[in-house]
Chains A and B, each alone.
Chain A
């Protein structure tokens, strides 16, 4: 007789010891294999809303020397994909509705629709959010976290999971630095050994170093 709920059935303890996101990780591994088979260089761009990810992509794609394609993630609207297509680069929009991040299944479906040319750089612009996207592997080759000088120097301290997972941190809106209380040196200190590139997506400062970084991927 069960002492816990009185159901009359014997209770059994089952040990699972498995990752909660095992299914997403499995799908992400499939994505990674699929990307490799087509020589796709996949970059996952993450940030809070309004840091300038789409503006950075627009600036990048207008001068990027290689083939490129973009997956745009937002809760609603196709506005960002429209902006990307205006640069002449193919893009698909994923609307997550109530969801606050992209997952590996969404990216798989989107890339099937997008069908990028083999050898392309595939940029995935995640939903603007410094918390949730950090947990979900998409199968990407590199994670880039964008933070803008208008957001405050302490962002890496407030959202450690996101910054800990970054292969590169882009500090954007460098043109606004004279007008805001942002300490670039202190921000670099908070980021420790992580690679940091400071740039202005609107004015163009530092963008060459960003393009060089992308070409190494």
Chain B
């Protein structure tokens, strides 16, 4: 359940940046390899925003599939966990590790 710790980091960052303005929406970019579960993230976000300037804010999540460059077959594209579709685990991960705050809406 690392989503709660992640949500607390998000709320801390957006509230600091918002100053004294209200936060209405937060957009996150979440890579498949971060093992962040969207439902748990939404639940944790609602808990973490309680009593803050972001209370009631909407959470948007942009999912980034895992992708990589395979050193065995040369494939560059979607991977499944650690594996290239060819079955090799000798893969440079090029996407899927993202865990970023993209933007927010304030007033």
Interface on A for B, CB 8 Å cutoff?
2, 4-5, 7, 9-24, 98-101, 103, 131-132, 134-136, 156-161, 163-164, 189-194
Contact = CB atoms under 8 A, between A and B. Distances in A.
A16 B104 contact: yes
B33 interface: yes
B22 interface: yes
Given A9-B107, A101-B5, A16 B82 contact: no
A192 B5 CA distance: 31
Nearest to B12: A23
Contact of A132 (B2, B12, B88, B93): B2
Interface of B: 1-2, 4-6, 9-10, 12-14, 17-18, 21-22, 24, 28, 33-35, 66, 71, 81-83, 87-91, 93, 97, 99-107
B33 A161 contact: yes
Interface of A is mostly: mixed
Contacts of A17: 100-103
A21 B10 CA distance: 8
A20 B100 CA distance: 5
B10 A20 contact: yes
Contact of A15 (B5, B33, B102): B102
Instruction: Give me the 8 closest cross-chain CB pairs, A-B, nearest first.
Output: A192-B89, A132-B2, A160-B81, A9-B107, A192-B90, A160-B82, A16-B101, A11-B107
A100 B83 CA distance: 27
Contacts of B12: 23
